[in-house]
């Protein structure tokens, strides 16, 4: 299992490998020839992709495979829910990716032959995912001999060992990545910029105009002056239906009941401390006693008086070691503190270190290396030089210098070695980061410090208290089982302070405001109807009763939900048409922009150096249509009325700066356009491919 241990250490997080190897870089192509379902759809369908149904069991099998690989990589027997969520998401993306692309690979004849895959893995330049596993961390050189021995061993295995299973997973990811890269390169090679496109970009980015404009805002016409009919609204909605798409989501409100410990619960916690005090006062090993009996571990830090609260600080700094203080209530816990020791220690220390990070491959030799470094230092070798050569953290760049620090600012073992040691000491200290070769450079003057052992008993709600709040929440849910009763109860009982709203909950959301692990509430909201009242849920120390305020299904937003918005759009459109007609009539009698402005009682506003790529039209703000029209005008020509974002514009160009041949080289312009095309292949094309596939995601029914 030594190689597997090496894989675990060097591979890093598996999910990073998965995401790094899986290139989501695909393109829109003829994907309309989808096959029918291979089996009868049922409630066990987790997805539908291009008409093909995917059973939950197929997806779960893929999840289990990736879960097993993650366990092999991490050495953990079980995975937490957060990691499992990541695994499910990665599995989903990989599954959809494979389903969308396999047909495309077949049509285009894209394949990775065995010889090519072998060269990727065993060739002169192995794939990075392989190379990093067998690269010496000290020298940075790929260990070919170790890799060949590993490959020979797993190839000779008759049974599928953990190491071989892990290797085959990485090999498969390399195979998938290679096919994706070939597909991506094929698409990119098919994208090029014509001479016309290159020249157009060159002109658009370099041609500049100075212009003057006038604008009549939509607000110059009152809303009451514009009549909007039901037919107008329905027609606009139908003609612009793609502007009103929405994703599936839910809005909920909920009333919560926090489980608050009762007076009896406080007394129980206090009594627990009182019961343990006699033994605590006579315990010889304070640290061990605290670790065994307290709700919080022993704090070995040494404190100055000003670092403690006034009452505890005064008591501890005027008492003899072994004296107890308490019980007292602090941070919702009863405590009793005992003075463990009094010491005179520096208030701050200046030190430097060399960090030797521990790995499975160097665990046995790490102390030998640390001893060697200490011997070199004793022999006169410069500390900074050794730190820059061997230290494994960011301080290596400054010769290992950590500057001045106070007790508690470093990990405990490191801090203790510096504050309990002497100026000039060089020590080897172990921590969770590895081995530190520490040199104490300076210490401030010693000050009095105390070490305190504290027994902590947190005040927690008893089963009786918890049940009282459950009954309260259950009564609320039972008595207010309609939205009308729910809303009335909030009003009459003045529950506004314990009522919260969660908007636009997505199907796979797990978090609802500050509720802990609220997946069950989201699941309920998606199975419920609008205005349904939930049963009682418990999240942490909080009972919840919710109502579904809004159900949104994926697709066009119903007209009734956005009627006011559509009406405003229609009204603005009609205002624009009225203003265009009015300005066009007045423009007919004007020769210049100044003449038109005078007839309207306006003053032309100048704007300089306007380009097609400009983002704003001077003080008028973001007006892309007007900017595009301005950069296309000839000098001295008064434009027709142009409908913008905020009103209707008329403008005239006063001066044009044409691009010279040297402003933007044609070849550079062509390269820029092609790079933009290439960059868009990854995301835009894949999203279009997914949209054409009409993917139905039913994961919320299962998780």
Q: Is the peptide bond before 327 cis (omega within 30 degrees of 0)?
A: yes
Q: What is the pLDDT of residue 36?
A: 39
DSSP 292-320: HH-SS-----EE-GGGS-HHHHHHHTTS-
Q: What is the pLDDT of residue 6?
A: 45
DSSP 74-94: H--SS--HHHHHHHHHHHHHH
Q: What is the pLDDT of residue 4?
A: 41
Q: What is the pLDDT of residue 361?
A: 55
Phi then psi for residue 607, to 5 deg, are -145, 130
- With 70 as the cut, is the pLDDT of residue 437 above it? yes
What is the rounded average pLDDT of the residues 495-501?
97
Q: What is the pLDDT of residue 23?
A: 38
Q: pLDDT, tens digit, for every residue of 333-392? A: 999 999 999 999 999 999 999 998 876 556 667 888 899 999 999 999 999 989 888 888
Binning pLDDT at 50, 70 and 90, where does residue 316 land?
very high
Domains 249-260+462-553 and 348-444 share a fold: yes
Residue boundaries of the structural domains of the chain? 2-189, 208-245+562-657, 249-260+462-553, 263-345, 348-444
Number of separate helices (H) and strands (E) present in the chain:
24, 21
- With 80 as the cut, is the pLDDT of residue 313 above it? yes
Structure tokens that stand for 10 in this block: 């060097």
- With 70 as the cut, is the pLDDT of residue 10 above it? no
* Torsion sign across C-alpha atoms 488, 491, 495, 497: positive
What is the rounded average pLDDT of the residues 404-409?
91
- With 90 as the cut, is the pLDDT of residue 423 above it? yes
Q: Which of 96, 22, 187, 194 minimizes the C-alpha distance to 680?
A: 187
Tell me how far CA of residue 290 lies from CA of 311, 317, 337, 341, 583, in angstroms.
21, 21, 10, 15, 85
Q: What is the pLDDT of residue 374?
A: 92
Q: pLDDT, tens digit, for every residue of 77-116? A: 889 888 999 999 999 999 999 999 988 899 899 999 999 9
Q: Indicate the length of the chain as a whole number.
A: 703
Q: What is the pLDDT of residue 1?
A: 41
**What's the CA gap between 555 and 537, in Å, rounded?**
31
Binning pLDDT at 50, 70 and 90, where does residue 39 land?
very low
**What is the CB-side half-sphere exposure of residue 429 using CA atoms within 13 A?**
27
Structure tokens that stand for 490 in this block: 């909030």
Binning pLDDT at 50, 70 and 90, where does residue 11 land?
very low
- With 70 as the cut, is the pLDDT of residue 288 above it? yes
Average pLDDT score, the chain? 88
CA angle 50, 52, 55 (to 5 degrees): 135
- With 60 as the cut, is the pLDDT of residue 408 above it? yes
**% of the chain with per-residue pLDDT over 90:** 66
Q: pLDDT, tens digit, for every residue of 585-623? A: 999 989 999 999 999 999 999 999 999 888 899 889 999
Phi then psi for residue 186, to 5 deg, are -60, -45
What is the rounded average pLDDT of the residues 681-688?
79
Q: What is the pLDDT of residue 425?
A: 93
**% of the chain with per-residue pLDDT over 70:** 92
Q: What is the pLDDT of residue 32?
A: 32
Binning pLDDT at 50, 70 and 90, where does residue 29 land?
very low
CATH code at 208-245+562-657: 3.10.50
Q: Give all strands of the β-sheet with 542-552 in edge-to-edge order.
A: 499-505, 249-258, 542-552, 537-539
Name the CATH topology of 249-260+462-553: Chitinase A; domain 3 (3.10.50)
- With 70 as the cut, is the pLDDT of residue 661 above it? no
Q: pLDDT, tens digit, for every residue of 443-475? A: 999 999 999 999 999 999 999 999 999 999 999
- With 70 as the cut, is the pLDDT of residue 40 above it? no
- With 80 as the cut, is the pLDDT of residue 44 above it? yes
Q: What is the pLDDT of residue 362?
A: 61
Q: What is the pLDDT of residue 659?
A: 73
Binning pLDDT at 50, 70 and 90, where does residue 138 land?
low
Name the CATH topology of 348-444: Chitinase A; domain 3 (3.10.50)
For 16-47, b/e burial (b = at least 16 CB within 10 A) is ebbbebbbebbbbbebeeeeeeeeeeeeebbb
């Amino acid at each position: 299992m030594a190689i597997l241990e090496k894989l675990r250490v060097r591979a890093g997080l598996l999910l990073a490998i998965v995401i790094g190897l899986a290139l989501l870089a695909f393109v829109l192509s003829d994907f309309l020839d989808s096959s029918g379902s291979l089996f009868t759809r049922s409630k066990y369908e987790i997805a539908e992709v291009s008409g093909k149904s995917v059973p939950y069991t197929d997806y779960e099998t893929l999840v289990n495979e990736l879960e097993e690989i993650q366990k092999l990589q991490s050495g953990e027997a079980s995975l937490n829910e957060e990691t499992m969520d990541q695994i499910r998401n990665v599995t989903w993306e990989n599954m959809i990716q494979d389903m969308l692309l396999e047909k495309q690979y077949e049509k285009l004849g894209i394949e990775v032959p065995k010889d090519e895959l072998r060269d990727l893995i065993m060739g002169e330049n192995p794939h990075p995912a392989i190379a990093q596993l067998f690269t010496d961390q000290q020298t940075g050189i790929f260990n070919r001999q170790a890799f060949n021995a590993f490959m020979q061993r797993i190839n000779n295995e008759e049974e599928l060992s953990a190491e071989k299973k892990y290797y085959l997973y990485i090999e498969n990811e390399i195979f998938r990545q290679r096919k994706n890269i070939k597909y991506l390169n094929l698409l990119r090679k098919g994208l090029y910029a014509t001479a016309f496109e290159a020249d157009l970009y060159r002109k658009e980015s370099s041609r500049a105009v100075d212009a003057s404009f006038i604008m009549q805002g939509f607000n110059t016409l009152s809303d009451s002056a514009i009549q909007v009919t039901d037919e107008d609204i329905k027609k606009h909605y139908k003609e612009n239906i793609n502007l009103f798409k929405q994703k599936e989501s839910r809005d909920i409100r909920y009333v919560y009941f926090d489980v608050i410990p009762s007076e009896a619960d406080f007394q129980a916690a206090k009594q627990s401390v009182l019961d343990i005090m006699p033994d605590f006062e006579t315990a010889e090993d304070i640290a061990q006693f605290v670790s065994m009996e307290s709700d919080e571990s022993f704090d070995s830090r040494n404190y100055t008086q000003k670092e403690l609260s006034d009452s505890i600080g005064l008591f501890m700094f005027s008492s003899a070691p072994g004296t107890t203080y308490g019980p007292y209530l602090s941070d919702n816990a009863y405590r009793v503190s005992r003075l463990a020791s009094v010491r005179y220690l520096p208030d701050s220390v200046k030190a430097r270190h060399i960090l030797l990070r521990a790995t499975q491959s160097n665990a046995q030799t790490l102390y030998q290396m640390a001893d060697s470094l200490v011997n070199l230092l004793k022999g006169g070798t410069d500390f900074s030089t050794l730190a820059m050569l061997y230290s494994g953290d960011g301080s290596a760049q400054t010769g290992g210098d950590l500057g001045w620090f106070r007790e508690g600012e470093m990990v405990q073992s490191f801090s203790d070695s510096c504050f309990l040691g002497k100026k000039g000491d060089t020590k080897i200290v172990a921590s969770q980061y590895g081995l530190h070769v520490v040199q104490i450079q300076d210490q401030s003057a010693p000050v009095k410090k105390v070490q305190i052992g504290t027994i902590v008993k947190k005040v927690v709600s008893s089963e009786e208290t918890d049940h009282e709040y459950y009954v309260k929440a259950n009564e609320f849910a039972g008595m207010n089982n309609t939205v009308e009763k729910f809303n009335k109860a909030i009003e009459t009982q003045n529950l506004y302070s314990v009522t919260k709203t969660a908007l636009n909950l997505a199907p796979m959301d797990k978090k609802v405001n500050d509720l802990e692990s609220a997946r069950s509430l989201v699941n309920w909201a998606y199975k419920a109807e609008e205005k349904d009242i939930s049963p009682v849920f418990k999240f942490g120390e909080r009972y919840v009763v919710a109502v579904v305020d809004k159900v949104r299904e994926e697709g066009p937003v119903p007209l009734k939900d956005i009627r006011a918005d559509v009406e405003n759009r229609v009204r603005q459109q009609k205002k624009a048409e009225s203003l265009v007609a009015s300005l066009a009539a007045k423009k007919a009698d004007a020769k210049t922009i100044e003449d038109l402005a005078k007839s309207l009682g306006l003053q032309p506003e100048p704007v300089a150096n306007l380009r097609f790529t400009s983002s704003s039209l001077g003080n008028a703000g973001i007006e892309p249509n007007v900017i595009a029209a301005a950069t296309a005008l000839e000098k001295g020509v008064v434009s027709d009325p142009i409908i913008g974002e905020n009103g209707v514009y008329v403008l005239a160009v006063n001066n044009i700066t044409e691009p010279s041949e040297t402003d933007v080289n044609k070849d550079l312009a062509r390269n820029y356009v092609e790079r933009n095309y290439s960059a868009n292949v990854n995301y835009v094309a894949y999203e279009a491919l997914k949209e054409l596939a009409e993917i139905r995601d039913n994961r919320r029914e299962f998780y």
